[in-house]
Structure 1
Amino acid sequence: MCTLDGCGSHDHLGPPPKATDQERRLFLKGLAVLPLAVVLADPVLAHAAASTLKKVTITAPTGETMMAEVILPAKLPASAVVMIHEWWGLNDQIRATAAEYAQQGYIALAVDLYGKPAATTANGAKELMASVDSVAATSKLKASVAYLKDHKDCTGKVGVVGWCFGGGWSLNTALATDVDACVIYYGNVAKTPQQLASLNAPVMGHFGTLDQNINKSMVDGFEKSLKAAGKTEYQIFWYEANHAFANPTGGRYDDADATLAWQRTMNFFTEKLG
């Protein structure tokens, strides 16, 4: 059982619930709302949700351009969130999650740091991730934050969230420019106190105890660096789960922990972004 304070038994691990045929038909007609995990786990539903986003071009002051996709909530003006994809790239899973953020009342901007079709294999994802130029990516993400802050329908409050590869870049974005909140899902947080000196945003991190790469040693080091840098506004949450536990399309998905992390993230953004 999970509460906002933590999780106990791990026997909740497993696939997300599936929509009934009737629920799928209604969702595809725009007449029903389904839990995010149900949508993400169903390629047809995820694609339908993803198709509600609109493409935009983000141009950095240094000249780099990046395609991104944006969706607006029903009620405007609204605060906004930059969303950074996993190592797979910008796929329907991230787009559908952006659509859910809009349902929750946020302007959601799903960025594409690869500029190429999303990978479907681990080797393909590794190649895409290795192709990223960190200086150019930083410039593009700074421009993405500026795009939202200047958006006519934005309140000026902007957060950032990322998963896996994007989790590390969520933190990098908060180091490179002023955002109002930063959420990291099992991303690389190996930073020195000096690297964290520019951090002004409150941070929330979600990590799995079974993760062999983004592990306790790395995250403990991150927390020590935060303290050494004099940063006090952060929350670190651990889950009895593996890397990518919030991704319903993968074999490591953990329904209860993913739901808990989502609830914590929504509460955090509500508090920091309004």
Structure 2
Amino acid sequence: MGTMIDIQAADGGSFKGYLALPEKGSGPGIVVLQEIFGVNANIRGVCDYYAEEGYVAVAPDLFWRMEPGVDLGYGEADFKKAFGFLERFDQPQAVADIAATIAALRSHPACKGKVGAIGFCLGGTLAYLTAAKTDVDCAVGYYGVGIEQLLDAAKEISCPLQLHLGELDKYTPPEVVEKIRDGLKDVPEAEVYVYPGADHGFSAKGRAQYDKPASSMAHSRAIALFRRVMGPHYDLSALWDMHCYYEFATRDVPATMSTMVAEPYVNHIPTMTGGVGQKHLARFYQHHFVNSNPADTKLIPVSRTIGADRVVDEMLFCFTHDTEIDWMLPGVKPTGKYVEIPLVAIVCFRGDKLYHEHIYWDQASVLVQIGLLDPANLPVAGQETAKKLIDETLPSNTLMKRWAESENQAAE
């Protein structure tokens, strides 16, 4: 997605930066700060990722004074070479080059509005220093090393700062994390998050330590900060409604796909149906979803929660099982039974496009309602689950045979 640009250094000379532009061509800016492996495929991927989110993203080559164009992988030889660069790295000079990158980004015609920074490993520490030493509007640092030795700079931080650390990261053990928290306690908008079970490098897809749940959670928090401080702001609720309209009202697969990113995915959790990637998902929608839902399918909204990068919809999903529903009841011939179930959709966005959907429902309740599962002596219920979602005064604990035993027992 990106191109290489020239950035003028404050002390003379110039260095390269990898620039990725959003689809619409402009947006707020983000400076992406490299690991010790240079502006490699992972860092360029981060720029592309944030371009999808609507930002003008640039990753400056911070090793240019030692060796321009460093692009290392994560093998043993690359690690050795990377640590060699780290030993010779001039941190204050790098901060000056970051300041020059921020200035270059602010003056770029595609950059509209404010500029933030995000960094990883070495870049995580530099993101912290960028918050303290430059005019950046906000900064996010992932698993920065040595921040606890740089806490004197905390008093210079006047912009929002977010730090993401791994619980198992040997460079930031619990005592270091507490020292960082304490050192930032007087910074008004400083947040420190620690991810259980995550190690150093947990957000780098090419590394063995990559931890998708931790990386996803950290990204949601980072994007929430960037959206709050810089925008851009999207009406995710309206975008989701449009997607559902194409799915269930007009049943238009090309229009449905047009609301999604280039490589989206859908996962119906109970049945593991859906698709990954444009081609696979379009096939699923065309032949196994959009045109295979019963004619009387109805979605009744119950609640909607809107975050910075996702919508969580709670609803009742109602239908008559008069056609084979590949995605919910694959291989089950129509029974003619009417079904009502609570359903939850967690819909993630990148910018103004849907990135993925995680859909949850109680499959046991569906099977009970169509007569394929006998609820006798099993802790499952049929349409009662939908009724109780709407009316909380309906009896609770009806499946608990021991419920009566506590009738006259006082709570401790």
Give the shorter-chain TM-score range.
Answer: 0.7 to 0.9
Residue in 2 aligned with 1:105? 54
Structure with the larger strand share: 2
Runs of 4+ in 1 over 4 A off after TM superposition: none
Q: What code does the residue aligned with 1:118 have?
A: D
Shift of 1:219: 2.4
SS for the counterpart of 1:248 is: coil
* 2:214 is the alignment partner of 1:257: yes
Between the aligned partners of 2:213 and 2:58, the Cα distance in structure 1 is: 26
* 2:200 is the alignment partner of 1:243: yes
Residue in 2 aligned with 1:213? 171
* 2:26 is the alignment partner of 1:62: no
Q: 1:116 to 1:198 in 2, by over 3 A?
A: same
Residue in 2 aligned with 1:135? 92
Say if 1:186 and 1:243, in contact at 8 Å, map to a contact too: yes
Residue in 1 aligned with 2:72? 119
Between the aligned partners of 1:58 and 1:70, the Cα distance in structure 2 is: 11
Q: What code does the residue aligned with 2:160 have?
A: P
Shift of 1:75: 2.4
Between the aligned partners of 1:142 and 1:261, the Cα distance in structure 2 is: 25
Residues 73-118 of structure 1: CA deviation (Å, up to 9, x unaligned): 1225410100011111111111122111111100000111112422
Unpaired runs of at least 5, structure 1: 1-51
Computing the radius of gyration over CA atoms, which structure comes out larger, 1 or 2? 2
Identity of counterpart residues, as a percentage? 29
Q: What code does the residue aligned with 1:119 have?
A: L
Q: How many residues align?
A: 221
Pick from 200, 215, 223: which aligns with 1:266?
Answer: 223
54-63 or 113-122, which moves further after superposition?
Answer: 113-122
Between the aligned partners of 1:81 and 1:218, the Cα distance in structure 2 is: 28
Say if 2:37 and 2:70, in contact at 8 Å, map to a contact too: no
Q: What code does the residue aligned with 1:78 have?
A: G
Shift of 1:192: 5.0
Residue in 1 aligned with 2:115? 158
Say if 1:84 and 1:170, in contact at 8 Å, map to a contact too: yes
Residue in 2 aligned with 1:14? none
Between the aligned partners of 1:54 and 1:76, the Cα distance in structure 2 is: 13
Between the aligned partners of 1:84 and 1:57, the Cα distance in structure 2 is: 16
191-200 or 180-189, which moves further after superposition?
Answer: 191-200
Say if 1:191 and 1:225, in contact at 8 Å, map to a contact too: no
Between the aligned partners of 1:107 and 1:216, the Cα distance in structure 2 is: 35
Structure 2 length-normalised TM? 0.52
Between the aligned partners of 1:71 and 1:193, the Cα distance in structure 2 is: 32
Say if 1:192 and 1:225, in contact at 8 Å, map to a contact too: no
Shift of 1:134: 2.1
Residue in 1 aligned with 2:135? 178
Between the aligned partners of 2:163 and 2:70, the Cα distance in structure 1 is: 28
Pick from 167, 188, 194: which aligns with 1:232?
Answer: 188
Shift of 1:64: 4.4
Say if 1:82 and 1:160, in contact at 8 Å, map to a contact too: yes
Residues 138-161 of structure 1: CA deviation (Å, up to 9, x unaligned): 211000011111222222300000
Say if 1:148 and 1:156, in contact at 8 Å, map to a contact too: no
Residue in 2 aligned with 1:80? 29
Q: What code does the residue aligned with 1:117 have?
A: V
Say if 1:65 and 1:140, in contact at 8 Å, map to a contact too: no
* 2:160 is the alignment partner of 1:202: yes
Between the aligned partners of 1:265 and 1:163, the Cα distance in structure 2 is: 13
Say if 1:183 and 1:265, in contact at 8 Å, map to a contact too: yes
SS for the counterpart of 2:217 is: helix
SS for the counterpart of 1:80 is: strand
SS for the counterpart of 2:141 is: strand
